[in-house]
Structure 1
Amino acid sequence: MMETINQQVIWANTFACVAEQGSFTRAAEILGCSKSYASKQVSQLENLLKVALFFRTTRKLNLTEAGKVYLAHCQSWQAQVSAAQQAVQALREEVAGLLRITVPTSFGGVFMSQILIALRERYPMLEVELDVSREPRDLEADGYDLAVRSGYLGHERLVSKPLVSAQLCLVASPACIARSPELASPSDLLAWPCLTNSHFRDPCHWVFNRGNELHAVDIRAELRISDYGLLRNLALDGAGAVCLPYYLIAGDLASGQLQALLPEYSLPAQSLYLVYPQRLPQPAKLRVLIDFLSDWFAHNQQATH
């Protein structure tokens, strides 16, 4: 069925070109085919429609009544195709339209309010639909333009662009510290109540750095939870020591509700990436969003460290 429709479109284009040029010869030159091939395509179209589209004489080529009606529809169709192409081109170049974005829960809660307000001020024609979720979405199947993800994906149909490195901090509440054994090195955490994020691989394997030395410890965590926000609340309530991104607990550290543990040791930074489907050319709205997010975090590095 589709092949028949495609063939009819080719015949119709040839017919329209012949009608507009008034000559099979001139139409064949424009279409890059032989005169006999152009004539055959028109004849096939006439056979399909079961009407004559031209009055043919040795010197003149005139449209029949059916030919005039069919040409009008062909011209209308060509105008619609041209308008569609122009609309798509404008959409590709205009910073407007809907952007569908998905980000992790903790990231969204901390940053996206400021980002969305600043984005709207700069690009008032943009609309944003934001999904805040612990579960990674399928960008292609679910129709998302862009995601923020932790860790490099290396997916062949997705582009991953580094966004920012978020420093992780080992923290606990003053109450938890007061009732727990002295903490002088990572190995002492074996006697501590610990919380961990089950979203990540090997969540109980914590690696610390001091100078050029690595110190790894396999902690025991009775609570393993796949949400940084809930882990923060548990830490505030004294449930145990936990590794959390600095951006999530900066205010808690400043107020003293949480305290940094083992400050002479550092934890690996958590790399965050912008992830989006490969589309060529990229719509303007996506290009400006990628640049905007990259610039925003470049100027707000203190928010993640």
Structure 2
Amino acid sequence: MRTFAAVAAQHSFTSGARRLGISTKLASKQVRQLEEQLGAQLLNRTTRSVSLTETGRAYFERCVPLLDQFDELEGLVQERQSELAGPIRLTAPTGFGSLELVNAIRPFQLAHPKVSLDMHLSDQHVAIVEEGIDIAVRFGALKDSSLVARKLMDMRMVVVAAPDYLARHGRPSDAYGLATHNCLIQKTSATPQDWLFRIGGKQVLVHVDGSFHANSPRALTHMAIGGLGIARCPHYAVAPFIASGELELLFPELEVTTMALYAVYPPGRHLTARIRALIDHLAETFR
């Protein structure tokens, strides 16, 4: 049933099998055995795609809640045990996930060695329901209001530059002066070239431009360290380099923008003990 649901959600035996960590051949065999057991065809198969039959759609709509109930039952049992166990599928942005999130999760894994974590790092938006993701760690405004979100922290957005760049091009006297500098642009916001500051008690947008654009704050950070220009990044990406003197903080008194970090999960899904424990751990760590 789980294999059928994964294949149906992905419209592909290959993608469905990958989601479950099994071979495509085994996924095909299991779905075929389910159809034989039910005496009904659930999927239409072609060389390019897989689609649900009318019977298959009705079965899919009813089996997904049943699978959630099995997960809930498993969670109830685990809550009575001293040890958490089982898989958790997690997705996060590449830069934040590869260091800060890994560091946050490490104590959880050491404390719960029977929990297996499958982390998918991507700077692209991952459809967590379709991909079978248990938790997505995401920055910024949530695009999908149907998902459940728990806020983990607010992250400062800071403006930085290398001492070498400031020595060569001069230090902007105020935020408006950024318009005459080469600014490094992070493309993940709706208006990446409009930087928000608090000036004279009001929120003011300063339009900037520059020769380097990227969707990764770590890419901007390393370009800034190399002296290419002035960057605006989440604080986590630049904090070690501010501490080492490789980057200088500009206009900290004018900062107004923060970026919220959330743990996001699908609605209507009972959180098993291990998933709830990981979310609680992340909330406490980032708090």
Fold in common (TM above 0.5): yes
> What TM-score results when the alignment is normalised by the length of structure 1?
0.66
Partner of 1:180: 169
Match for 1:222: what amino acid?
S
CA distance in 2, matches of 1:195, 1:223: 5
Give the percent of matched residue pairs that are identical in Structure 1 and Structure 2.
28
3-state SS, counterpart of residue 135 of structure 1: coil
Which whole-Å CA distance do the structure 1 matches of 2:268 and 2:148 have between them? 10
Letter aligned with residue 236 of structure 2: Y
Q: Based on CA coordinates, which of the two structures has the bigger radius of gyration? A: 1
Question: Relative to structure 2, which stretch is displaced further, 152-161 or 286-295?
Answer: 152-161
**Change beyond 3 A, Cα 1:179–1:134:** same
In 2, are the aligned partners of 1:169 and 1:260 still within 8 Å (CA)?
yes
Q: Would you say the 8 A contact 1:189–1:219 is kept in 2? A: yes
1:120 corresponds to which of 109, 123, 135:
109
User: Any unmatched runs of 5+ in structure 2?
Assistant: 1-68, 79-83
User: 1:264 is paired with a residue of what secondary structure?
Assistant: helix
- Equivalence for 1:233: 222
Compute the displacement of 1:113 (Å): 2.6
Alignment match, 1:171: 160
Secondary structure of 2:101's counterpart equals helix
Correspondences of 1:1-305 after superposition (within 5 Å): 89-94=73-78, 95-153=84-142, 155-210=144-199, 212-298=201-287
Letter in 2 for 1:89: L
CA distance in 2, matches of 1:234, 1:264: 24
**What CA distance in whole angstroms lies between the structure 1 residues aligned with 2:169 and 2:73?**
64
Deviation string 1:74-111 (CA, Å, 9 cap, x unpaired) is xxxxxxxxxxx888623444131100000111211331
Shift of 1:278: 1.4
Q: Report if aligned partners of 1:168, 1:244 keep a CA contact under 8 Å in 2.
A: yes
CA distance in 2: counterparts of 1:280 and 1:104, whole angstroms: 23
